[in-house]
Chains A and B, each alone.
Chain A
Amino acid sequence: MISLKCMVEMTDYRGEGAYFSISIIDNEEIYLKTIYVLGSDKTWFSEMKSFWKHLKANNLFLDDDFYPLIEGVSGPTISGGETRILQLEIPKLLYDNANYLRFETAVEDKGYYPDDINVALNEESLKKSYEGNGFILNIKFIFPEK
């Protein structure tokens, strides 16, 4: 596993908390692995339509590895203007292999962005910071010091 520290800042949108997932996809947009989901209440996961398809197709709900990916700590979702620091665990096999990190966001009645941000999974591109297309203002990455 490769550990990656990631800071997400949300835009100042008004509305419900955002549902948010981070998945690794290949260059044909096939889901390889979901590595992070924000929103402890899975009832609303269906708002993230693309992720939801992947979830259902692979029966992830039955997967024991899936639940630790869900963060349900201080509020199930991430709201407008909020900052979060996340710890991402990326399987070595999928790293540096022409795959992407996809940040998917959805807010009730406000919209859904399957590609809020896509970042190529290699050291070069993870050094930069990125601006989102949707509810994400920007993201930054750091490899934790060993």
Chain B
Amino acid sequence: MIKGIWRSTHFLLAISVSIFLIIASVTGTYLGIEAFVDQSKQEAISGLDKISLKNTMHALQNNFEEVYKISVTEKNFVVVQGVTSKGFETVYVNPETGEKIDNVKPRSSLSNFMKNLHRSLFLKKSGRFLMGFISFLTVLLALTGFILLLKKIGGLTKIFGPFKESQFFRKLHVELGRWFLIPVFITAISGFYLTTERLYVFDYNKSIKHEYKAGERYIDLDDLFLNKVQNVIYPFSSSINDTFKIQLLNRTIIFQRGDNSILTEDIHSVPYLIKAWAYWIHTGESNMFIAFLLTITAISLLFFIFSGLFITSRTSWALLKFSKNNLNEAKVIILYGSETGNTYQFVKRLLKKLKKENNKVAFCSLNNYKIFPNAEKIIVMTSTYGDGEAPSNANRFELQFQKYKQLKSINYTVLGFGSKSYPKFCGFAEVINSLLSKEKGYSELYPFFKINNQDLNEYLYWEKRLIKRFNSS
């Protein structure tokens, strides 16, 4: 069953995350679009890396009686809290001219709703933990998907080459896989990091702190650009010794008003910086391109889920159900030969029936014939390909049968599937039947039987009698 291990794992992961992933994708789509739209507003300032903090602080003096705080948000909005002629205000400003653009309004309730659902399903800490776990599973999903993709396409070098697939959903799934594998992976792993960070796995508060005497070092506000600044807290009192507190992306600096001499400098730890990066890439709040990419990634996840569901219904469920297929312990072995999968459907049917009757049963294709240490009964079910030929998963059986001899004496029976419209009706089954009948230690459990055109009634007739033999032997 090693053959199916990636598929089964991929499938199991998908089933367990699908509901949460649907929620995350739908809300993610909304948030992605919101981030994109926000970047097109006039309060989103481009070229923050060319505007110095000194320039902005100077410009604000003309428009504010007193400034309390400047913040540069993740969305590249510059927000000032301070006193104007109208009293205390919190406004978006143009950092070059210091002029007000608009009042700051709280996030809309829809936006809050989406954000909460996306982060924690409204379940606070446990929800956050759950969504973090889902992101982790999504990382694994992307990895197992990648392995399946490589197998399908045939190696890393052919990743964008053509592949054969006629079924629409399969094609969609593979096609999306090769375009969105990396975005999905990055989105999932950054989301995972953001949640673990919020669960305080990493000690990011630990920073390196330097203290300086007044006059030892100075800060140059002319050389400090807004793209590096998170916020500036102005001195609280009018005292000459009072201090500014500046939070930059990688450090917090406290310096004296007047001579700009630095008093303390806190350098943030690495996890803090990774968090900032994860936030940047996961939210796309500061970059239209990332916001757009995240939005289509979220939409693609929905397509992944639904196309995946359509594909899986047959193969993967089957793989899981038969994971208990232990050929070494089984007393009853079903060997099958199937070209189109029709015979396989009957194999599954018989398997279910025999399990119900409390038989230790396992199955494999005729080509996988080997020594089954506990086998007492062998049931062969096979179709015939063309003119009495073996189906493709049975063409090596005769060789294998000569090579491996069973340990115990065997009761066998052969069931052939075919069509009377061919001259050699069940020709291959007949070959196997005569092979087994001549083998030493083999005795017939039930006579050779043929089924025409997959007739269910004929099959049920055979099954009933076979079970009877089972119970009498």
Contacts and interface: CB of A to CB of B under 8 A. Distances in A.
Nearest to B247: A82
Given A3-B88, A72-B107, A80-B205, A16 B198 contact: yes
Interface string B57-93: 0000000001011010100000101010001101000
Contacts of A144: 66, 83
Given A14-B200, A70-B106, A81 B88 contact: no
Given A43-B122, A142-B236, A83 B245 contact: yes
A3 B81 CA distance: 15
B405 interface: no
Contacts of A73: 71, 79, 81, 90, 104
A41 B90 contact: no
**Residue among A40, A67, A80, A109 with max Cβ neighbours from chain B (10 Å):** A40
Contacts of A140: 236
A127 to B, nearest CB: 12
Interface in B88-115: 88, 90, 104-107, 112
A88 to B, nearest CB: 9
Interface of B is mostly: mixed
Contacts of B104: 72-73
Nearest to B83: A144
Interface string A8-48: 00001011100000000000000000000000110100000
Interface string A118-146: 00000000000000000000001010110
B293 interface: no
A73 to B, nearest CB: 5
B125 A14 contact: no
A100 B402 CA distance: 97
Interface in A71-121: 71-74, 76, 80-81, 83-85, 87, 89, 108-109
Contacts of A40: 106-107, 112
A82 to B, nearest CB: 9
Interface string B220-247: 0000000000010110111000000100
B83 A85 contact: no
Contacts of A70: 106
Contacts of B355: none
Given A16-B198, A73-B104, A85 B236 contact: yes
Nearest to A71: B90
A78 B105 CA distance: 18
A48 B303 CA distance: 42
A12 B83 contact: no
Interface residues of B, number: 30
A83 B106 contact: no
Contacts of A3: 87-88
Interface in B179-231: 198, 200, 205, 231
Nearest to A7: B236
B348 interface: no
Nearest to B231: A74
A72 B125 contact: no
A14 B271 CA distance: 14
B237 A108 contact: no
B124 interface: yes
A14 B205 contact: yes
B229 to A, nearest CB: 12
**Residue among A12, A41, A80 with max Cβ neighbours from chain B (10 Å):** A41
A66 to B, nearest CB: 12
A109 B125 contact: yes
Contact of B233 (A83, A89, A145): A83
A5 B134 CA distance: 45
Contacts of B198: 16
Contacts of B236: 5, 7, 85, 140, 142
A107 to B, nearest CB: 11
B331 to A, nearest CB: 56
B431 to A, nearest CB: 71
Contacts of A145: 238
A72 B106 contact: yes
B116 interface: yes
Contact of B234 (A12, A43, A80, A85): A85
A108 B107 contact: no
A3 B73 CA distance: 27
A81 B200 CA distance: 16
Given A3-B87, A108-B124, A85 B81 contact: yes
9 closest residue pairs by CB, A with B: A72-B106, A87-B88, A74-B71, A85-B68, A40-B106, A7-B236, A41-B112, A83-B233, A73-B104
Interface of B: 66, 68-69, 71, 73, 79, 81, 83, 87-88, 90, 104-107, 112, 116, 122, 124-125, 198, 200, 205, 231, 233-234, 236-238, 245
Interface of A: 3, 5, 7, 12, 14-16, 40-41, 43, 67, 70-74, 76, 80-81, 83-85, 87, 89, 108-109, 140, 142, 144-145
15 contacts: A3-B88, A7-B236, A12-B205, A14-B205, A40-B106, A40-B112, A41-B112, A41-B116, A72-B106, A73-B90, A74-B79, A80-B205, A84-B69, A84-B233, A140-B236
